[in-house]
């Protein structure tokens, strides 16, 4: 077996292990939120409140896209922590998906090279 062939096989095995780790993230059953959770200062609308001069009430918002439009929802403080974690899991999922696509391309390249390294003996390479 040629050295380059062994190297390709080792690379394929390494990619296979990376694929398993990435798939564990992609196939996880933990809930995700496709959006962003953040805190902001807002006015309450009461003209006699101290926030009438400048925003002073802290509120947590969930911003997401629905039917092609940007939506914003207020989040209860009791739900804020779990929503933040779910949004972070979505960011992790997105990165894992990008890594998965890159990994697939690398595997395809290595497999194509592997095929070209195994011609029939009577067929001349060009």
Q: Which two tokens stand for residue 48?
A: 């006699």
Give the tens place of pLDDT for each residue, 3-14: 566 676 778 888
Q: Which two tokens stand for residue 85?
A: 């974690």
Residue 107 within a domain: yes
In the Cβ-directed half-sphere of 50, how many Cα atoms lie within 13 Å? Answer: 4
Confidence class of residue 119 from pLDDT cuts 50, 70 and 90?
A: low
Residue 75 within a domain: yes
Residue 58 within a domain: yes
Q: How many domains does the chain have?
A: 1
**pTM for this prediction:** 0.71
Residue 123 within a domain: no
- Domain hosting 111: range is 3-116
Position with higher pLDDT, 16 vs 116: 16
Q: What does DSSP say about strands 57-66 and 69-75: parallel, antiparallel, or unpaired?
A: antiparallel
For 9, 98, 115, the CA distances from 36, given in Å and listed in that order, are 41, 19, 45
Residue 91 within a domain: yes
Residue 121 within a domain: no
Residue 126 within a domain: no
Confidence class of residue 95 from pLDDT cuts 50, 70 and 90?
A: very high
Q: Which residues of 42-67 are buried (b: 16+ CB within 10 A; e: fewer)?
A: eeeeeeeeeeeeeeeeeebbbeeeee
Give the tens place of pLDDT for each residue, 22-80: 999 999 999 999 999 999 988 888 888 888 888 888 899 999 999 999 999 999 989 99
CA–centroid distance for 115 within its chain: 32
């Amino acid at each position: 077996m040629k050295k380059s062939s062994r190297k390709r096989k080792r690379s394929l095995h390494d990619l296979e292990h990376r694929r398993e780790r990435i798939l564990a993230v992609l196939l996880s059953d933990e809930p995700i939120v496709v959006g962003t959770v953040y805190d902001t200062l807002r006015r309450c609308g009461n003209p006699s409140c101290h926030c009438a001069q400048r925003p002073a009430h802290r509120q947590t918002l969930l911003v997401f896209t629905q039917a092609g439009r940007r939506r914003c929802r207020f989040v209860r403080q009791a739900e804020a922590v779990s929503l933040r974690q779910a949004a972070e899991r979505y960011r992790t999922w997105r990165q894992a998906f990008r890594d998965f696509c890159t990994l697939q391309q690398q595997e395809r390249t290595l497999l194509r090279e592997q095929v070209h390294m195994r011609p029939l003996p009577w067929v001349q390479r060009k």
